[in-house]
């Protein structure tokens, strides 16, 4: 698999798919460069020594201009693949000037550099990570969970922000640009409104091609502006989901203030992800009565996280560690409705979201949510909402 011809073929095939610069090294000697533009400058090679020194199978860095450069290396075979730069937003004229200064590119090559960016596709950071995973599989003949390996989207549970929010409460009793990724935006906002933490995590674990519109010529300012826009939207949907208005706006202010303290785009994007999780958790908590016991809380969370599985009250009871009859009785007593009914309600709410924000067929949705048949799914949906799934999708006014 790792013969010279096989590696060359793999690099060429992948380049033809993603059109990103690739450098292949063997025994520390450059063997292949794609594309071979002949330009007298290189934006990735200057970072090679730093990445090699980390002595990791996969490593990456982000430049000040938010260019991602990645390296995959197999120390045993002395093979390395350098990929990048990968851009998540198209550079402005000011950014190009800064890049020329940073890499000591003579002024006469400005047109060539601009041309390079014009033909360079825009990818999200998460897509970039998955490109690295492909090279890892090729060079090391192994499969890797790239999210876990690189600690992508670390959930810090926003400890410092939570502390600030508590203090403020005591003192005072957001394959192309973002603006045309409307349906993806609405999907993750719906997870927030419903308090669906696991759904939100799964959404961001998929490599959707979502890039941000140009909000600023400065990369750091751009990241902060994106966060501010996201906070505004998230706050609105969290309030719709049941989070009290005062808490929502306090959190909004705190996250914006925290973002202004940061001077690293990656840290800002990480804060944005944690912000979304924080709001979603708070919505989930707000939707559950305060006097709910821990067993019933576990039931609710388990059911919401397993809408795409054929779960029963027995499955829930096994997860909680109580008898089915006892747990069903407590569930009805505390919440006022049957557990079976709640399982069905959660599945149907998930169906509404999929009908609204995805183009999955009714058959696919029925199968995904583990209904016994499409006909049964359509019947229970109409009984619950008064319209068939098809009518619900075609007529927004019935929602």
**Predicted pLDDT of residue 160:** 55
Order across the sheet with 58-62: list the strands. Answer: 29-34, 22-26, 79-87, 67-74, 58-62
Q: How many CB atoms lie within 10 A of CB 284?
A: 22
**Predicted pLDDT of residue 392:** 92
> For residues 300 and 346, is the Cβ–Cβ distance under 8 A?
no
The predicted-structure confidence for 25-42, as pLDDT tens digits, reads as follows 999 899 999 988 777 788
Split at pLDDT 50, 70, 90, the class of 362 is: very high
Cis peptide before 85 (omega within 30 of 0): yes
Q: Indicate the CATH number for domain 294-398.
A: 1.10.10.60
Split at pLDDT 50, 70, 90, the class of 174 is: very low
Instruction: Tell me the two tokens of residue 170.
Output: 């005591």
Split at pLDDT 50, 70, 90, the class of 1 is: very low
The mean predicted confidence, pLDDT, of the chain is 82
pTM of the prediction?
0.50
**Predicted pLDDT of residue 171:** 40
218-227, 244-253, 268-277, 278-287: the lowest-pLDDT one: 218-227
The DSSP code for 321 is: T
Domain 4-150 has CATH 3.40.50.970: no
Alpha helix segments (H runs only) across the chain: 4-18, 48-53, 93-102, 110-118, 125-140, 146-150, 159-172, 182-194, 197-205, 219-240, 245-261, 265-286, 294-305, 313-320, 324-335, 339-357, 362-368, 374-385, 389-394
Instruction: Tell me the two tokens of residue 115.
Output: 């041309």
Instruction: Tell me the two tokens of residue 183.
Output: 């349906």
pLDDT at 140 over 80: yes
DSSP string, 196-249: -HHHHHHHHHS---B------SSHHHHHHHHHHHHHHHHHHHHHHTT--HHHHH
The predicted-structure confidence for 281-291, as pLDDT tens digits, reads as follows 889 878 777 67
**Predicted pLDDT of residue 124:** 76
CA dihedral 210, 213, 214, 220 (to 10 degrees): -50
d(CA 184, CA 308): 19
The DSSP code for 397 is: G
Give domain limits for the chain. 4-150, 159-286, 294-398
Between 358 and 230, where is the model more confident?
230
d(CA 10, CA 34): 12
42: Cβ–Cβ under 8 A, 6 or more apart, which residues?
none
pLDDT at 157 over 80: no
**Predicted pLDDT of residue 183:** 64
The predicted-structure confidence for 226-255, as pLDDT tens digits, reads as follows 888 889 999 999 998 888 887 788 888 888
């Amino acid at each position: 698999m790792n013969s010279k011809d096989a590696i060359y073929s793999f690099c060429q095939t992948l380049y033809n798919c993603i059109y990103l610069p690739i450098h292949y090294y063997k025994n520390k000697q450059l063997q292949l460069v794609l594309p071979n533009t002949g330009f007298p400058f290189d934006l990735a090679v200057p970072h090679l020594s730093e990445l090699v020194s980390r002595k990791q199978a996969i490593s990456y860095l982000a430049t000040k201009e938010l260019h991602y450069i990645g390296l995959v290396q197999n120390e045993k075979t002395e093979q390395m693949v350098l990929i990048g730069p990968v851009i998540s937003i198209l550079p402005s004229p000011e950014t190009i000037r800064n890049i020329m200064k940073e890499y000591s590119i003579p002024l006469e090559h400005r047109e060539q550099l601009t041309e390079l960016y014009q033909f360079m596709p825009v990818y999200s950071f998460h897509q970039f990570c998955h490109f690295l995973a492909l090279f890892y599989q090729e060079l090391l003949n192994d499969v890797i969970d790239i999210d876990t390996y690189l600690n992508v989207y670390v959930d810090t549970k926003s400890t410092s922000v939570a502390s600030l929010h508590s203090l403020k409460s005591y003192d005072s009793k957001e394959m192309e640009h973002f603006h045309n990724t409307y349906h993806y935006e609405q999907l993750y906002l719906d997870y927030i409104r419903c308090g669906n933490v696991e759904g939100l995590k799964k959404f961001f674990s998929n490599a959707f091609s979502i890039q941000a519109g140009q909000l600023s010529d400065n990369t750091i300012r751009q990241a902060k502006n994106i966060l501010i826009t996201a906070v505004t939207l998230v706050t609105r949907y969290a309030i719709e989901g049941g989070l009290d208005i005062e808490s929502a706006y306090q959190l909004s202010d705190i996250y914006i203030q925290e973002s202004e303290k940061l001077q690293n785009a990656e840290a800002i994007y990480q804060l944005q992800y944690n912000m979304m999780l924080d709001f979603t958790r708070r919505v989930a908590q707000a939707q559950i009565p305060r006097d709910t016991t821990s067993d019933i809380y576990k039931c609710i969370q388990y059911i919401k996280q397993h809408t795409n599985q054929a779960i029963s009250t027995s499955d829930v009871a096994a997860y909680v560690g109580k008898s089915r009859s006892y747990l069903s009785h407590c569930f009805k007593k505390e919440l006022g409705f049957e557990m079976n009914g709640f399982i069905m309600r959660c599945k149907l709410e998930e169906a509404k979201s999929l009908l609204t924000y995805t183009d999955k067929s009714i058959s696919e949705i029925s199968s995904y949510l583990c209904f016994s048949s499409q006909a049964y799914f359509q019947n229970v949906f109409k009984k619950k909402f008064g319209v068939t799934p098809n009518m619900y999708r075609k007529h927004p006014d019935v929602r």
